[in-house]
């Protein structure tokens, strides 16, 4: 099936505006994606007609809201192909999900243990592990990358040892777009009985993810990168591992009984969902998943690869432009620099032309250090972007070069 781009663009109200007097070209999708009208309507309708707290009252509104909330959990379960719906924990986002696991590992890690991450990680998959290591005496180990922005797999295999208590790596890199060989990592880790956490913030907007096929122990994602609302995310965890980890936060909903002498915790998934959750966010996320599922994740992936190839070719034609991240397997992210021009200058001029790109280190300072650069300009494409928009980026870059070259 081919993507119906005209119809799709009509679904996203935000795309139809001018920025600085020019039609908006939104190429900052790796930071956050835009929302289709069905998601916006779902949230508005919930607050207009359906709102009540969940898992509490016997009254009809509360029962209906609870039903919708739990139906959304089943949608996520199906989307990720998790074995059980109680393996789906609603979080604030990827950062929150990783922190939940890292907090739990504070009770597992001991002096001499190691946590293995990679040089490609977003800060949110570095800092929580540094914090967990700091409190336990465990050490952080890092898989290095090559000049293309790919993990050096021999180094990974050398770093994996009996001291490794967890491998925590991203599925797709936000800064360079690399699609990582996570299958090989999981297979090797499991041969030593080591659990694996995948940061799926950048994979889930671009491809279907099957956690049973991957066989990872944990998978974290953000709703707002998946065309859903901000402030909502998902942590998938295998049942036995979620049972092994202590609760992250204490409060309402996560308990079975409370007395001053002893509190017992609720079962999964509620053990990890303390307090009133982001009900509207959960319902909006369900609509977003239904929306991309209806288009087809394969259709989306194929179209975005077309955009990536087209964009890569166009940018490569520009003298003095250098693309960072040239892995064989890439998602639709192009990070680049123009010789002698600071990324902020490029980003500022492009903004004047209505083109939204992200500039800077993209919360991946170690990658920038690895390449010896202050940051990059990053154009990241979603399925509502077009080749015509990429042509505008190309023309915009030529303007930047004329002004600063």
Interface with ligand 7TS (CB under 6 A): 30-31, 93-95, 122, 124-125, 170, 174, 199, 201-202, 222, 358, 362-363
Adjacent-strand bridge partners of 26: 356
As to burial, measured by CB atoms within 10 angstroms (0-12 exposed, 13-18 middle, 19+ buried), residue 396 is: buried
As to burial, measured by CB atoms within 10 angstroms (0-12 exposed, 13-18 middle, 19+ buried), residue 147 is: exposed
- Nearer CB in complex with ligand 7TS: 30/65: 30
Q: Torsion-angle region of residue 230: left (phi > 0), alpha (psi -120 to 50) or beta?
A: beta
- Nearer CB in complex with ligand 7TS: 125/266: 125
DSSP string for 331-386? -SEEEEEETTB-HHHHHHHHHHTTEE-EEE-TT-HHHHHHHT-S-EEEEE--TT--
Q: How far is the CB of 376 from ligand 7TS (least distance, A)?
A: 11
DSSP, collapsed to helix, strand or coil, labels residue 221 as: strand
Among the listed residues 213, 204, 135, 125, the one whose alpha carbon sits nearest the alpha carbon of residue 167: 125
Which residues have CB under 8 Å from 186's CB, separation 6+?
196, 214, 215, 216
Query: Tokens in use for 122?
Result: 């977003």
> Of these residues, 70, 363, 365, 370, which one is catalytic?
363
**Residue 363 a catalytic site member:** yes
Q: How far is the CB of 380 from ligand 7TS (least distance, A)?
A: 8
φ and ψ at residue 232, rounded to 5 degrees: -135, 140
Instruction: Measure CA of the first residue to CA of the last residue in the chain; give whole Å.
Output: 44
Q: How far is the CB of 319 from ligand 7TS (least distance, A)?
A: 28
Q: How far is the CB of 124 from ligand 7TS (least distance, A)?
A: 4
Length in residues, the chain: 405
- Nearer CB in complex with ligand 7TS: 54/101: 101
- Nearer CB in complex with ligand 7TS: 252/360: 360
Give CA separation, 176 vs 206, 223, 295, 335, in Å: 14, 21, 26, 6
- C-alpha atoms less than 13 angstroms from C-alpha of 188 in its C-beta half-sphere: 18
Q: How far is the CB of 203 from ligand 7TS (least distance, A)?
A: 8
Q: How far is the CB of 343 from ligand 7TS (least distance, A)?
A: 14
- Nearer CB in complex with ligand 7TS: 95/376: 95
Query: Tokens in use for 204?
Result: 């889930």
- Nearer CB in complex with ligand 7TS: 174/312: 174
Among the listed residues 189, 229, 225, 187, the one whose alpha carbon sits nearest the alpha carbon of residue 207: 225
- Nearer CB in complex with ligand 7TS: 136/174: 174
Among the listed residues 50, 53, 96, 390, the one whose alpha carbon sits nearest the alpha carbon of residue 218: 96
Q: How far is the CB of 120 from ligand 7TS (least distance, A)?
A: 9
- Nearer CB in complex with ligand 7TS: 141/224: 224
Give CA separation, 23 vs 14, 154, 347, 353, in Å: 11, 47, 16, 8
How far is residue 73's CA from residue 92's CA, in Å, rounded to a whole number?
Answer: 14
Q: How far is the CB of 125 from ligand 7TS (least distance, A)?
A: 6
Active centre residues (catalytic)? 363
């Amino acid at each position: 099936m081919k993507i119906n781009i005209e119809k799709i663009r009509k679904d996203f109200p935000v795309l139809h505006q001018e920025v600085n007097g020019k039609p908006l070209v939104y190429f900052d999708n790796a930071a956050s994606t835009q929302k289709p009208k069905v998601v916006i309507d779902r949230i508005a309708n919930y607050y207009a007609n359906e709102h009540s707290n969940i898992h509490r009252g016997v009254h009809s509104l509360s029962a209906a809201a609870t039903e919708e909330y739990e139906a959304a959990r089943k949608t996520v379960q199906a989307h990720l192909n998790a074995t059980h719906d109680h393996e789906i924990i609603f979080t604030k986002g990827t950062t929150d999900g990783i922190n939940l696991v890292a907090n739990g590992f504070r009770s597992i890690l001991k002096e001499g243990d190691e946590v293995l991450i990679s040089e490609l990680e977003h800060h949110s998959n570095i800092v929580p592990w540094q914090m967990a290591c700091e409190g336990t005496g465990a050490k952080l180990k890092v898989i290095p990358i090559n000049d293309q922005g790919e993990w050096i797999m021999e180094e990974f295999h050398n770093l994996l040892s009996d001291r490794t208590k967890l491998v925590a790596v991203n599925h797709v890199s936000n800064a360079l777009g690399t699609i990582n060989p996570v299958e090989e990592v999981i297979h090797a880790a499991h041969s030593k009985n080591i659990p694996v956490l995948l940061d799926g913030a950048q994979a889930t907007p671009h491809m279907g993810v099957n956690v049973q096929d991957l066989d990872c122990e944990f998978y974290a994602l953000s709703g707002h990168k998946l065309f859903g609302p901000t402030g909502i995310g998902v942590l998938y965890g295998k049942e036995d591992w979620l049972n092994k980890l202590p609760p992250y936060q204490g409060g309402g909903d996560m308990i079975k009984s409370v007395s001053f002498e002893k509190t017992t915790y609720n079962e999964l998934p509620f053990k990890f969902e303390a307090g009133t959750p982001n009900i509207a966010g959960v319902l909006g996320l369900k609509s977003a998943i239904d929306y991309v599922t209806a288009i087809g994740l394969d259709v989306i992936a194929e179209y975005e690869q077309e955009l990536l190839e087209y964009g890569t070719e166009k940018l490569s034609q520009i003298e003095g432009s250098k693309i960072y991240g040239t892995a064989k397997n890439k998602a639709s992210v192009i990070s680049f620099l123009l010789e002698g021009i600071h990324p902020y200058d490029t980003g500022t001029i492009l903004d004047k032309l209505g083109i939204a790109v992200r500039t800077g280190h993209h919360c991946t300072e170690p990658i920038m250090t690895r390449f010896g650069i202050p940051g990059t300009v990053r154009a990241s494409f979603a399925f509502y972007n077009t080749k015509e928009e990429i042509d505008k980026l190309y023309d915009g870059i030529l303007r930047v070069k004329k002004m600063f070259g």
